[in-house]
Every structure is written in structure tokens, then in C-alpha cells.
Structure 1
Amino acid sequence: MSSRYEIGIDPEAIVAFDVHTHVHKSVHAESQHEAGGNEEMGAYFGIGSMPHYSVPELADYYRERKMAACVFTVDSISLDGEEPEPANEEIAELAAEHNDVLIPFASIDPHRGAAGVRLARRLIEEYGVRGFKFHPNSQGFFPNDRLAYPLYEVIAEHGLVALFHSGQTGVGAGGTGGGGIRLKYSNPLHVDDVAVDFPDLDIILAHPSFPWQDEALSVANHKPRVHIDLSGWSPKYFPPQLVQYANSLLKKKVLFGSDFPVITPERWMADFEKLEVKPEVRPLILKENALRLFGLTKDDAKSTEKGA
């Protein structure tokens, strides 16, 4: 095993911090598309055949653009019966080799039960992962289901981040019966219970939360450690209330995320430039809020305050 991950990002060396990127390819895969799947996802986002990137390839991609990124896979073994590929361990090990631009998150399906909790603790203590990605739709659980609480306890104990997919998903979109994916699980209001029961846990609600945008804004406004990332949508499609809150009450709690590779950071940022966002708010969203969240600012206390 390579050395345990430690953050090596130089805040002055990056122009943006993408908190939401996917690893779809193991370094052991022979070609960019060998990882397979995701064709429906590519069609959903209008990009055709979706490319796959390994951790080193993602590191090169973001390093060239002077950006940092959080990287992760999604463990949905309770839905598809398959272990995530690449494995959490591979992602963490390789991120440690590219710690100047990458931060590794892990993903554990809560249905793994006690074995999943043991795995989470090992990934934190032996591999140094800095957060966990949950996808309630593809993992088939409500975030406030007590099934997941032992996982949250471990994450909160170590002061790490829990990132929850929220709103509609491209997973299974257009397939028969939506591929068995139930949208009800991703209403961000269910995360409100998690924020109450784990008040010291830093939470990110991923994506504009269609059709529950107002619920997401309410939770993030009410709960001091809940953030929103803007991944998975081009900024030109952001609902007006999201832009309004990002410019005001939530200006210190909104984060740049692309959902790469379904949306490239270039496309996202080009559309973001055209959005009516205050000049003083842009750097907060693009990198400063994320730097604060991961303790990389001069004041390394995590963001617990509400924007003025």
C-alpha cells in the first residue's frame, strides 16, 4: 500500500476547486471505455458515449487546468450486486500520489451494515480518505434511515465530509422503469434529520436539487454545516432562487462542482461566467468555500457560519 493520504494542495496554485468528480476507470483497465456502463448516463447528459478516467488521468486533467478536485466512485452493491470499480482503496492510494490536486472520498453502500462501518474506519485510518459520497437513489435508502447512522458516526468522529446526491439523477434515466432507481430517496429534506442528529458533521448536498430546490436551500440556510455543490447542471439552467441564495445568504456555503466527466469544468465555468453572480461571490464559490471546508485557509476552522 502507498503512503496514507495527506492533503498537499497549494491554495495559491489553483484557480478553482471542483468538489464533485467521478472515477469510472481502474488503472488496470486497458482502455478508456473498458469500465463499461454509463451509456444511459451519457445520453441523459447529451454527450453520447461517456469517457472514463482513472485517478492519474484525472490528476493530469485537473493539474493542466490549475484546479483541485475531490474524486470518488459510487458503491451500489445492494442494487447491482457488484463491488465498485475502481475500489475505494485504489482511489485513495493513487490520490496520495497526486495529492497536489486530488482529495479522495470513499463510497460505502449503507446496506453493507457492520462490515461497511469497519471498512469506513479502515479507509479513514489506513488510507486517509477525507469524505464519503452517498447516492441514496442507487443505494436505495433514505438518508435519515437509521441503517446509515453507524456510518455517519464514524465520519463525524473523524471530522470528515458526507456528500449526498440530491434531486433527480441520470442513473437509470430512460431505461425500463428507470433502471429500478427510485427518485424519492433523494429529497434533500431527509438530510435535515442527519444535520440535526450529527450537528458536527459537514454535509454537502450535491447538485441543484430538482424538483426540491427550495427544500435544499431551506436546509442549507437553517443548518450551519450544510453546503450545496453546483454540480451536474450547466449554470445556465440554475433556478433563479438558487442564484439568489448563492449571491446572498448562502454565499459562503455554495461550492463549485462539475460532475465530471458528464460535464467538463470548462463548460461549467464558461456558463458560470455568464451568470449574474456578484464579483465578490465568484471566488468564494469557485474555490474559497471549499478551501475553508477542508481546512486549507489561513483560518483553518471549518465553515460553520452563515453568509451575511
Structure 2
Amino acid sequence: MVIDAWMQHGTVRFLQHEMLDSLWRWTGKKPPEKEVPVEETVAAMDAGGVDVGLISAWYGPEGALVSNDEVASFVEQAPPGRLLGIASVDLRKPMDAVRELRRCVRELGFRGLRVVPWLWELPPTDRRYYPLFAECVELGVPFCTQVGHTGPLRPSETGRPIPYIDQVALEFPELVIVGGHIGYPWTEEMIAVCRKHPNVYIDTSAYTVRRYPPELVRYMAEDGNHKVMFGTNYPMIAPEHALKGLDELGLPDDARERFLEGNARRVFHL
């Protein structure tokens, strides 16, 4: 089985947002003109051998680019078990955000919370995140976020693993944190934070196998084989393209299984 830890089934208002212009330019594609059917996302998963995709909502200062209820609808439209929801919330209203996270997990069956710091230009140490961290611990779900530079047209500072992820993990040692997008160009920092904190993980979304930094591949193959999970950032990278060259990494069988399935299954309670 293969589990994709970071996907989107995007709405037109999300996919056509000006902040994503740089990503479309890099991929050589254009954003869709009309809403994409869920069948297209499932077909891309099938082509890449992905069995389960965790699709997330997107909330920013301007509101919902992909709402939690839209994500729940996408999950419902897919074959059973193929798509699972990851919530997002509005940081401007912390108590409403906590209640919305609670609803998503308890009523909609979502498996975690994702907040993208660069979208808010607020690092994860900002006070507005802290009620959500406490609620994630109480609900038993991970906090998923972005680490590393910002590909979209927004500042990159909020993606530094040190000090931000390190500080959150110190103050909330029970909080499970998944840092998506590897952490490049601060990959060594992200690995150091993972080694330091037992509940901090990495997912490889936004990078193809052949672009993984050497230090990450070493970590995946050795002492970090229980800490790294596969992700694509679909639709920016299709699963088939993301996984091309996996055999060339030379991962031991147990490390490969944990990377593709086992770590995500454990972290997201699948």
C-alpha cells in the first residue's frame, strides 16, 4: 500500500490564486478553468499506485480557498477509503477555529489539522496557533504544516524548522507535528529537530524522489526510517512522477515500507 500524506483536490478559486503562479510556471501547466472532478484525482492516484490520499482544506486571511465541507464532499465522492480529510481553520478567530477543528475530527472524520504559515505570514510560534495545538493533543490528531522555503509568491521565513518547529515541540511535547515539503534549504535543521523530538516527522511533498537532498535519503535509510513519509503536493506533482526513481534510492525493505505506508498509517491512525 502507498499513502500520500499531502494532497489537495483544489477548487478553482484555490488553483487560480495568484500566489500559485510560480508553481504553475515551474510545472509548465495552467490552472484549470472549471472545477476538477474527483474522479480525476483518483485516476492520478491509480496511475501512481497510491491507495490512500490525505487531502486538505486551505484557509487563509481571505477566507476558505478550499473549505472543510468541500473536502468532506470530495471524500464522499471518492471510492470508500481512497481520500481522507485534513482540516484547516481561520487563525483570526481562535475559539471558532478550535470548535471547527473539533467538528472536523469528531463529525467529519478528518485525520489531522493543516495550517500553512506562509499563507498567514505567521510562524507556528504565534500565539494564535496555541489553542489549536492543545486541541490537536486532546483529539489525538497531528498538526501538519509546511517547512522550508515558500514556492508560492509569499515570504519564506515562516518555514524555518529552527527556531519555529523546535520551539513548538519543546512547549507541546505531546503534539505530533508533520513538517511537509522536506524543509529545504534547511533540511539538516529539519532532520535535527526530528532527531531531537520523538513526535516530529517529515513528509516529502512538493519534491520528486530524484530531488530528495542526500542528507534526507541517508536519514530515511538509517536512523530516521520511522520519521519520513511520502507526499506529493498533488496536483502540482502527480504521484507517478513523484515516485519515479524510488528503486534508485536503495532503501532497505523495512525503510521503504515505512516511508510509503507504515509511518503515515501510524501517525494518522489509519
What amino acid sits opposite 1:58 in the alignment? T
Say if 2:159 is the partner of 1:186: yes
5+ long unaligned stretches in structure 1: 1-14, 173-180, 297-308
1:72 to 50, 56, 60: 56
Q: Deviations over 1:98-127 (max 9, x none)?
A: 441111001123233322222222222222
Q: Which residue is 2:107 aligned to?
A: 126
Cα distance in 1 for residues equivalent to 2:207 and 2:146:
13
CA RMSD of aligned residues (A): 2.2
- The question of 1:24 aligning with 2:10 is answered yes
Check if 1:94 corresponds to 2:67. no
The answer (yes or no) to whether the contact 1:206–1:229 under 8 Å persists in 2 is yes
CA distance in structure 1 between the partners assigned to 2:191 and 2:14 by the alignment: 39
Per-residue deviation, 1:245: 0.8
User: What residue number does 2:202 align with?
Assistant: 228
CA distance in structure 2 between the partners assigned to 1:22 and 1:128 by the alignment:
17
Is the alpha carbon distance of 1:34 and 1:109 closer, same or farther for their aligned partners in structure 2, counting shifts above 3 Å?
A: closer
Alpha-carbon distance, 1:36 to partner: 2.3
In 2, Cα distance between equivalents of 1:270 and 1:35: 25
Instruction: Choose which of 211, 224, 237 in structure 2 pairs with 1:250.
Output: 224
Q: Between Structure 1 and Structure 2, which shows a larger proportion of helix residues?
A: 2
Once the two structures are TM-superposed, the CA of residue 85 in structure 1 deviates from its matched residue by 3.3
Instruction: Report the structure number with the largest CA radius of gyration.
Output: 1
Question: Structure 1 residues 40 and 289 mapped into 2: Cα distance closer, same or farther (>3 Å)?
Answer: same
Instruction: Tell me, yes or no, if the aligned pair for 2:3 and 2:260 is still in contact at 8 Å.
Output: yes
Give me the identity figure in percent.
Answer: 27
1:143 Cα deviation (Å)? 0.6
1:96 and 1:267 mapped to 2: Cα distance?
26
| CA distance 1:208–1:34, shift in 2 (3 Å) | closer
Q: State the Cα deviation string for residues 62-107 of structure 1 (Å, max 9, x = none).
A: 356451110013211x2xx2x2233111212431454411110011
| Cα offset, 1:50, TM superposition | 3.9
Cα distance, 1:232–1:245 mapped onto 2, change above 3 Å: same
Q: In the TM superposition, what are the counterparts of 1:118-157 in structure 2 within 5 Å?
A: 118-157=99-138
**Conserved 8 A contact 1:131-1:163:** yes
Aligned length: 263
Which of 180, 190, 195 aligns to 2:169? It is 195
Q: Structure 2: give runs of 5+ residues left out of the alignment.
A: none
Structure 1 pair 148–293 and aligned structure 2 pair: CA distance change class (3 A): same
Contact 2:14 / 2:66 at 8 angstroms: preserved in 1? no
Query: For 1:139 and 1:34, how far apart are their aligned partners in 2?
Result: 15
What amino acid is aligned across from residue 22 of structure 1 in structure 2? Q
Matched, 1:215 2:178: no
Higher relative contact order (CA 8 A, sep 6+): 2
**Residue aligning to 1:271:** 245
Q: 1:159 aligns with which of 137, 140, 152?
A: 140
Alpha-carbon separation, structure 2, partners of 1:202 and 1:97: 29
Q: Residue by residue, what CA displacement relative to the aligned partner does 1:224-247 show, whole Å, maximum 9, x if unpaired?
A: 111100111122122111111111
Q: 1:153-185, CA deviations, whole angstroms, 9 ceiling, x for partnerless residues?
A: 11111000111101112211xxxxxxxx22111
1:56·1:94 contact (CA, 8 Å) conserved in 2? no
> In the alignment, which residue of structure 1 is the partner of 2:86?
105
Is 2:27 the counterpart of 1:46?
Answer: yes
Q: Is the 8 A contact 2:221 2:252 kept in 1?
A: yes
- Listed one character per residue, the Cα deviations across residues 166-218 of structure 1 (whole Å, up to 9, x for unaligned) are 1112211xxxxxxxx22111101211222222222221111121221111001
Contact 1:63/1:101 (<8 A) preserved: no
